[in-house]
Homo-oligomer: A and B are copies of this chain.
Amino acid sequence: MDWLDRIKWDRDGLVPVITQELGSGDVLMFAWMNREALAETTRRGEAVYWSRSRGRLWHKGEESGHFQKVHELRMDCDNDVLLLRVTQLGHDPSIACHTGRHSCFFQRWEQGAWHAVEPVLQSPERIYK
């Protein structure tokens, strides 16, 4: 499809994806998609990434129930980065991170060290039971 060809896929056939929560504006996570993952995302209306560690499509929420409903898909000026605006489903308050936190970006730099500054909302043992 033409709109898929407009994207500048990297040497591994992937594109970086930033996922932002629609209501809060919070950046929830960062992941990768290949052509198939992106086509699936637009077909389903839910985020489907390419898992580099597992080497397969990853329908976000397939194990945790924490699916992401996609409201908007954007591309940057260089056609090589995507931005998803989503509703994070499956838990209230919302959980995007596999550690059970709201956002994956829970470590804050303070005076030369990293500190975990967001609470665990649900234990990973309960999420991935």
A residues neighboring B (CB under 8 Å): 1-3, 6, 16, 18, 20, 24-27, 29-30, 42, 72-79, 81, 83, 97-99, 101, 104-109, 112-114
Q: Are B77 and A98 in contact, CB atoms less than 8 angstroms apart?
A: yes
Q: Are A73 and B1 in contact, CB atoms less than 8 angstroms apart?
A: no
Q: In the complex, A99→B97 CA distance in Å? A: 33
Give the number of times this chain occurs in the complex, counting copies: 2
Q: How far is the CB of A16 from chain B (nearest CB, A)?
A: 6
Question: When A18-B18, A24-B25, A114-B6 are in contact, do A73 and B30 touch as well, CB less than 8 Å?
Answer: no
Q: Are B75 and A112 in contact, CB atoms less than 8 angstroms apart?
A: no
Q: How far is the CB of A81 from chain B (nearest CB, A)?
A: 4
Q: Which residues of B contact A83 (CB under 8 A)?
A: 27, 105
In the complex, what residue of chain B is closest to A24 when comparing beta carbons?
Answer: B25
Q: How far is the CB of A107 from chain B (nearest CB, A)?
A: 4
Q: How far is the CB of A124 from chain B (nearest CB, A)?
A: 11
Q: Which residues of B contact A101 (CB under 8 A)?
A: 77
* Interchain Cβ contacts under 8 Å between A and B, 19 examples: A2-B112, A2-B113, A20-B27, A25-B25, A25-B26, A27-B27, A27-B83, A30-B76, A42-B109, A72-B108, A73-B108, A74-B106, A74-B109, A75-B109, A76-B106, A77-B98, A77-B99, A81-B104, A83-B105
